[in-house]
Amino acid sequence: MTVNVSTCDKIPHHPYSYVSSGLLLSHGLSWLERLTELRFLALDGVDLSIASSAKGKDWAEPISLLSKLQVLRLSNCKISGPIPVTHLLNLTSLSSLYLNFNMFFSAIPPQLVNLTFLSNLHITNSRVRCSSPQHPQIHELLAGDNSDLSIDLPHLFDLPWPFLRILDLSFCNTSGIMSNSMGNISSLVLLSLSSNNIQGPIPPYLTKLSNFKSTYTYLSFNSLTGAIPSSISNIGNLQALDLYQNNLVGQIPQIICGLTSLQILILAYNKFSEIIPSCMGNFTRLEPFDVCYNSLEGNVSLPSLFDNSSPTRVGIAFNGLTVSTDHMEMPTSFQPSMLWLSSCNLQGKIADFISKLKNIQVLYLANNSLTGNIPSWLWQLPRLSTLDLSNNKISTEPFHLLSVLQCHTHFQV
C-alpha cells in the first residue's frame, strides 16, 4: 500500500515530525506550510521523485517557510535535481542536514557556509560532484560514496576546521597526499578516507591527534607508501587502524604495542616484513586482526600471540610465517568466527584446539603440510560454513556437506 501524504488536510501542530522508510509518497510539500513551529522534520524514505521533478514547481519552497527548523532529514527520498540552496539559506536555525541517497547531480553549494549553526552535513551517495567543500563550522561531514566529488585533499583544509569530529570521504575519488594542514583538525574522532587515490606516506602530523577521546582511522584501498610512523604511538586512544591494501613497507612497529585501546587492526595486503610484534595479546578488546598477504617472517606461537586477547577475526595467512599450535593450550577466551591460517607452514595433524571453537564460521587451512585424517569433531562444529583444506596431504571418511568446501589438491577421500 502506498500513502500520499500530500493529501493530508489536517496535521497537528507539533515541533517534531517523523516519517521514515515507509511506502509513502508526496506530490508536493505544500502541506508543510502551516507547520511554522516545526523544529525537527524527518521525511527519510518518503518518495519525493514526482515533487522534485515537476516542471514549473519549486518543490523545496514550503521548507523555506519553516524558519525555526533545526533538523532536516531528507535521506533516501529519490530527490533529483540540484540541492535547493536558495531555500535552505532561509533556515537560519538549521543545525543538521541529512540528504543521503538522493540524485542531486550538483556540487555541494558553497553558500551553505552562511548557515552559521549548521554543524552536521550528511550527503552520502547523493551524486554530488566537482566540489571541495569549505565549511569550517561543520562538526560532522559525511560525503562518502560520491565518486564524482573529486576532493582535492591537499587543499581541503587550507582553512581551519576547528570543530570537525567526523569526516567520511570514502569512495569519493579523493586524490593527492595527506597534507600537514590536516594536523590542524585537532577535534577529529573518525577519519575515513578509504577507497580513494591517496598517495605518499602517512604524515607525522598524526602526533597532534593525541587528544582524541576515541579515534578511528580508515585508510584502506589507497596508495600510501613508506612505513607506519613511530609517532603513531602518540595517539593513545586509537581504537581502529585500517590500512588494508596499500603499499606500506617496513616492520610493524613495536610501539604499536602501546595502543592498548585498539579494537580494529587491519594491515593486510601491504608489504610489511620481519616479525609480528609479540604484544598482540595486550589488545584485550581487539576484534579483527588481519595481517594477511604481507612478507612477514619468523616463528609464531598462536597461543602466545593471543594469550590475553580474543579477536573475532584472525588473519595471518600468506606470509612467510611458521605458525605452531600444538605445544600450548589456547586460552578458552579465544573464540574467533573467522580464522585464516593458509600458507602458514602448519605441520602434522589439524590442531585439536579448533574443536573448541564454537563460534567458528570460516576456517582456512589451505597450502600447508597437514597430514592424517580429518577429525570427526570438525563436522560437529555448530557454525562452520566455510572450510578450505586444499593443498594439504590429509584424508578422511565421507564428510557432511558444508555451504562451501574447497578440498582439491592432495585431498584423499
Other beta carbons less than 10 A from residue 118's beta carbon = 21
Do 17 and 42 touch, CB atoms closer than 8 A?
yes
Q: Tell me the average pLDDT of the chain.
A: 86
Q: Cα-flanking dihedrals φ and ψ of residue 237, to 5°?
A: -100, 15
Q: How far apart (Å, rounded) are the C-alpha atoms in residues 223 and 219?
A: 9
Give percent of the chain above pLDDT 90.
Answer: 61
What are 1-44's pLDDT values in tens digits?
A: 334 444 444 444 444 444 455 567 878 899 998 899 999 999 99
Residue 227 has pLDDT above 50, yes or no: yes
pLDDT at residue 140 is higher than 60: yes
Going by pLDDT thresholds of 50, 70 and 90, the confidence category of residue 380 is very high
The rounded distance, in Å, linking the Cα atoms of 60 and 80 is 12
pLDDT number for residue 280? 84
Chain centroid to CA 66: 35
Query: Which triple of cell numbers denotes residue 19?
Result: 516519517
CA 255 from centroid of its chain's CA atoms: 24
In the chain, the percentage of residues whose pLDDT exceeds 70 is 86
* 302 DSSP assignment: H
- Give the phi and the psi of residue 250 in degrees, each rounded to 5: 85, -170
**What is the mean predicted confidence (pLDDT) over 83-101?**
96
Does residue 80 register a pLDDT over 90? yes
Q: What local confidence, expressed as pLDDT, does residue 3 receive?
A: 41
The pLDDT value recorded for residue 134 is 76
Note the pLDDT of residue 329: 84
Distances (CA, A) of 303 to 133, 195, 248, 329, 408: 49, 34, 28, 7, 29
Facing residues of 197 across strands? 175
Cell of 330: 589456547
How confident is residue 224, by pLDDT bands cut at 50, 70 and 90? very high
Q: What is the pLDDT of residue 5?
A: 44
* Confidence grade of residue 281 (pLDDT, cut at 50, 70, 90): confident
**Residues, the chain:** 413
Given this model, what pLDDT does residue 4 score?
A: 43
For CA atoms 178, 180, 184, 188, give the dihedral sign: positive
Tell me what pLDDT residue 16 has: 45
* Structure confidence at residue 13 (pLDDT): 43
Residue 185's pLDDT band (cuts 50, 70, 90): confident
Q: What integer pLDDT is reported at residue 68 of this predicted model?
A: 96
CA angle 299, 302, 304 (to 5 degrees): 95
> In the predicted model, is pLDDT for residue 95 greater than 80?
yes
Amino acid at 327: H
Between CA 318 and CA 103 the distance in angstroms is 42
pLDDT for the residue numbered 104: 93
Secondary structure (3-state) at 86 = helix
Give the sheet arrangement for strand 271-274, strand by strand.
175-177, 197-201, 223-226, 247-251, 271-274, 295-301, 320-324
CA–CA separation, 176 vs 174, rounded Å?
7
Domains and CATH numbers, the chain: 278-413 (3.80.10.10)
- Residue 350's pLDDT band, with cuts at 50, 70 and 90, is very high
pLDDT score for 1 = 32
Q: Which residues contact 56 (CB under 8 A, 6 or more apart)?
A: none
CA atoms of 367 and 356, how far apart (whole Å):
23
